[in-house]
Amino acid sequence: MQQKRLLLTFSILLAILLGVFVTNYTFIPEVSLAKEETPTAVQIENVINNSQAPSLLAASLNDPYQIANIAEAVNPAIVYIHVKWPAEQSSTPRVWSNDPFYDFFDFWFFQPFQQIPRERVSQGTGFIIEESGIIVTNQHVVGNRGENQEITVTLNSPEHKGDYKATILGADARLDLAVLKIENGNDQFPTVALGDSDQSRPGEWVIAIGNPYGKQFDHTVTVGVLSAKGREIAIRDPDTGTTRVYQNLMQTDAAINSGNSGGPLLNLEGKVIGINTAVHAQAQGIGFAIPINVAKEVLQELIETGEVKLPPKPWLGVWFTEITDEIAKQLRLPDTKGVVITDVINGGPAHQGGIRPRDIIRRFDDIDIQSSNDLTSAVAQYKPGDEVVITVLRDGRTLLLTITIGDTPEELRN
């Protein structure tokens, strides 16, 4: 009897052990399946190391050929721009012979430096926005109207292949924008749609198409992201020696090189959101584009008038400063009320109205002037052409001078 009880107990224990083993065996594959559905960091790293990252990008775009399709649709409207400028006379020795010693002594001792014409060439990119052949590009690529430059644009579309002459309808150096017109009758040219740069967001994918380093690499397609908005950069113009300040630019890491200037920066809808204009020479992946909305605001004005007129900005034409206790003492003033004129711009509104350096402005029409901010605010309330009466103190005498407010010259605007 006792032996049977031992056998029964042994059987129960054996059954329990087998049950635990079976339970554990069936649980393990379930956990493994869950791990396979959620890749680990090691697995993701292996995917990247196996060069499968592009497939992740393609999946995020839903279509591996989306960018290719956009480029194919837009490319016919992208043009290569070649500009030949009139030859400039420069003092240069006459051309040397292949023989390095050719006529050496005669050359140096008996031949003066000769004026040899030199041609200057610039090149870039543009895009057609109207079927009549209206092209948008950068002003620094083509220059201004009336400079006698010859502009040739090259198209590469099924209906239009080859070179066409173009003329400048309008240009603005401040905005670095220019509008061209293809000289070819009533042909209908392919166009690209303009988007809304205000709706663009840093981090979104963008596409640049252009002609880096010239015609040899025409219609090059590069891809990146919109890195930032609202950038400001200063670029020195080697031709004029002046510095151009560009504001509110879009920054991108899509590859942009010399020759891309004037080309489109597109979003994934195939619409232009920027005009490629500059690249940071000392960095990689830092390019800049003019927001297309800036261009859209002035395109019609450029086409119709040839230029962009700046909005009127009231101008007095003086430099002035606060009156300190020390200045008041030097000028023997009773108090520090008003501002002292330190300089008057020759020919400006104040100069024509009789204001002179060392004058003290006390009132501006019926506005009391206590400080520099008061005078700045007072001038801003008027429009160019308005007449104001300014009360000044000069050598102990009070004068009333009538001044006609002017319009601030472009070179003096911030």
Residues with catalytic roles = 140, 176, 261
Full 3-state SS string of the chain: CHHHHHHHHHHHHHHHHHHHHHHHHHHHHHHHHHHHHCCCHHHHHHHHHCCCHHHHHHHHHCCCCHHHHHHHHHHHHEEEEEEEEEEEEEEECCCCCCCCCCCHHHHHHHCCCEEEEEEEEEEEEEEEEECCCEEEECHHHHCCCCCCCEEEEEEECCCCEEEEEEEEEEEECCCCEEEEEECCCCCCCCCCCECCHHHCCCCCEEEEEECCCCHHHCCEEEEEEEEEEEEEEEEECCCCCCEEEEEEEEEECCCCCCCCCCCEEECCCCCEEEEEEEECCCCCCCEEEEEHHHHHHHHHHHHHHCCCCCCCCEECCEEEEECCHHHHHHCCCCCCCCEEEEEECCCCHHHHHCCCCCCEEEEECCEECCCHHHHHHHHHCCCCCCEEEEEEEECCEEEEEEEECEECCHHHCC
